[in-house]
Amino acid sequence: MAAEITLDTLRIDVEKLEAIPIDLANPPACYPQNPLRGTKERTTVESRVAILENPKIRVMVGLDLGGRLLEIADKRTGVAVLPAPARLDLAPAGLRGIRSAQGVPLTVFGGDRPNALGSVEFSVRPPDEEDDAAELWMFEIVAGYGMSWHQRITLPRDTADFEIELRCVNRTFDYTAAKLSYQFEGWRVASRSQTPPFEERVILSSPHGGALGIAFDRREAWLDEKSEEVALCLHDGPLTPRRAMRSTIRLSPIGLEAVRAFTSEAAMALDGSAVTVALAGESGKCTLFLRTAGGQTLESTVDFGQSDVARLDAPSVPDALLLRGPTGRTLAEWSKEETEPLPTDWLRSESPPPFEPEATLASAFRESPPDAEKLILGVRQGGKSGLPFIAAAVWAVDRQDWVLASQELDEALSHQADDPLTWWFKAAVERRAGGQDQTPLLNAHFLAPLDPALRAESLLAQEPPEGRGPNPLLASMAESPEHLIEVACLYLEARLFEDAHRWIDESLRHRDHPMLHYLLAWAYLRRSRMETEAAAEIARARSAPLAPPMPWRPFEALVLEELAVRFPGEARLQAFLTGVKHARLAIIRMVWPECS
């Protein structure tokens, strides 16, 4: 049996929730998201899940529950170290007033994500002839934080572990911070060891039985222990403007008690003098070596031909274990000395940098060329960065110098080739220059296949359809107005005004949202001084239905500030400006509490 991935639904008993309307004059702490409250009325819902499975393990991911891990099961032993819930328990807590700790949620800044109980974008890739692994991609723009996360879960064939690769991208020119973590509430650390190829291996004891082995590189991830809550932190702040960070971890469900060691090929448990070995990789005859307290070494042959799990009773409690495979290669080892507590100086304890308001790059692109002083401050904060080259490319785009813009983006990519948005910018410039090179867009898709900017660029590369009806290619994206606004802001920030105008015009045929009208009005005034057209868009924004998403981006704040000066009597415009300023202040206080 190869690895498989299927989409299914999970019946869950949940309490019905209702959203509390946002008062823009007094925005809530969770702005731009609505606060939530329970209704005390329960119902059963069909929640979408993705299931990754091979002969050894099974993993379930809640696609409508924030992308959290819902089930992690060891099929070798029949033990689910994280059993799939039949009931979702909610508590009146957290950023939006309601939270659930069930499963293993992905969190931001060590707290709930605004969308922790919502749906995430996803795509699946079943195994093919070239690669027998199954993949699940997930994506989300974290509203209010200026960042997005892109996650790939990979399950290989015939192994007892799965890999999580997480990319975090600062999508703005603002100096912000981001730290993502998986929170294992109710779990505890059973033991640690340092074993190549990862610098750190941790065994978490599951409250449901068994254990979970986690292998990670301490340069990219670290463990945070707080009483009965364990968080595996995957990114450290600050995440400087237009930068991407990447972490990879491997998780191994082990349906055994008292686990002493695990690797990608085997796990060993010791209960008194009883030794249990679960093979994770190839099967066959293995050799188990035991060292007794008196220093005697015993040897036993273990045949894994019929089962992946074997149990042996030693004559006394061993001090050390070593398992070798059929070829004599060491598969796993443990000694009593290694279970002693390790020094804790490897735990991250750095405090965040002091907040410097002048370092923000939110206004760096107000004029052309961009504000040099703010760019210098931003580069100083970010170290080696492609930011000044991106700024130079924006300046070149403003002058319609596509050759220079492409050259500047090549320099930027030499510093940050892992940023999908820089590749997106490069693809847009190449298209405007009339080039046929698809490499930039392909590279961006490799890094972040679900990013709406990439889908927008693919659409803009096509000829507009005849007629004035809504383009069906945009229908799926229009289900998320957050993505429509995000793409419009990105094209306007890059001073690709014609593309932004076409995108906003097409978006409004699918979804009438005030912010899209404000962005179009700003573009009219900024690029062509079309006062009459801008005023018409302000009027349309006034009559458009007021619905989420509310503005929160630094660029949205820039647009609203300038429009408020030009149209001082617009009440909705002023209300939006109040909300977006509140959002920026809330993030500043969260990242740098000393500024409260």
* pLDDT tens-digit series, residues 55-74: 999 999 999 999 999 999 99
Size of the chain, expressed as the number of residues it contains: 596
- Cα separation, 333 vs 194, in Å, equals 11
* pLDDT tens-digit series, residues 496-545: 999 999 999 999 999 999 999 999 999 999 877 789 999 999 999 999 88
Our CA dihedral for 249, 255, 259, 261, rounded to 10 degrees, sits at -40
* pLDDT tens-digit series, residues 403-461: 999 999 999 999 889 999 999 999 999 999 998 889 999 999 999 999 999 999 999 98
| Stretch 48-52: mean pLDDT | 97
- Cα separation, 258 vs 269, in Å, equals 5
- Cα separation, 215 vs 153, in Å, equals 15
| Stretch 203-226: mean pLDDT | 87
- Cα separation, 552 vs 545, in Å, equals 18
Question: What is 259-339's CATH topology?
Answer: Immunoglobulin-like (2.60.40)
The answer to whether the bond into 196 is cis (omega within 30° of 0) is no
Q: Which pLDDT value is given to residue 383?
A: 54
Least confident of 132-146, 219-233, 286-300, 385-399: 219-233
Q: What is the pTM of this model?
A: 0.89
- Amino acid identity of residue 389, one-letter, is F
**Strand, coil or helix: 192:** strand
For residue 1, what pLDDT band results from cuts at 50, 70 and 90? low
Q: Which pLDDT value is given to residue 352?
A: 40
> To 5 degrees, how large is the angle CA 505–CA 509–CA 510?
120
* pLDDT tens-digit series, residues 568-586: 989 889 888 888 877 766 6
* pLDDT tens-digit series, residues 341-388: 434 333 343 444 443 433 344 444 444 444 555 555 555 554 567 888
Q: Where are the alpha helices (DSSP H) in 433-496?
A: 439-447, 452-460, 481-493
Q: Which pLDDT value is given to residue 153?
A: 97
Query: Are 5 and 160 contacting, i.e. CB atoms less than 8 angstroms apart?
Result: no
- Amino acid identity of residue 45, one-letter, is V
- Cα Dmax for the chain: 92
**Phi, psi angle pair for 45, to nearest 5°:** -120, 155
Query: Are 405 and 393 contacting, i.e. CB atoms less than 8 angstroms apart?
Result: yes
Higher pLDDT, 512 or 241: 512
- Cα separation, 138 vs 122, in Å, equals 4
- Amino acid identity of residue 353, one-letter, is P
Q: What is the CATH number of domain 4-254?
A: 2.70.98
**Helix, strand, coil distribution of the chain in percent, nearest 5:** 30, 30, 40
* pLDDT tens-digit series, residues 86-138: 999 898 888 889 988 889 999 987 678 889 999 999 999 988 876 789 999 99
Tell me the average pLDDT of the chain: 85
| Stretch 549-559: mean pLDDT | 88
Residues of the chain above pLDDT 70, percent: 86
Query: Are 409 and 429 contacting, i.e. CB atoms less than 8 angstroms apart?
Result: yes
- Cα separation, 341 vs 96, in Å, equals 38
- Cα separation, 405 vs 478, in Å, equals 30
Which pair of structure tokens corresponds to residue 157?
């064939």
Q: Which pLDDT value is given to residue 218?
A: 72
User: Taking 90 as the threshold, does the pLDDT of residue 402 lie above it?
Assistant: yes
Query: Are 251 and 182 contacting, i.e. CB atoms less than 8 angstroms apart?
Result: no
User: Taking 90 as the threshold, does the pLDDT of residue 193 lie above it?
Assistant: no
> How many CB atoms are located within 10 Å of the residue 575 CB?
18
Which pair of structure tokens corresponds to residue 325?
């495979």
Q: Which pLDDT value is given to residue 338?
A: 61
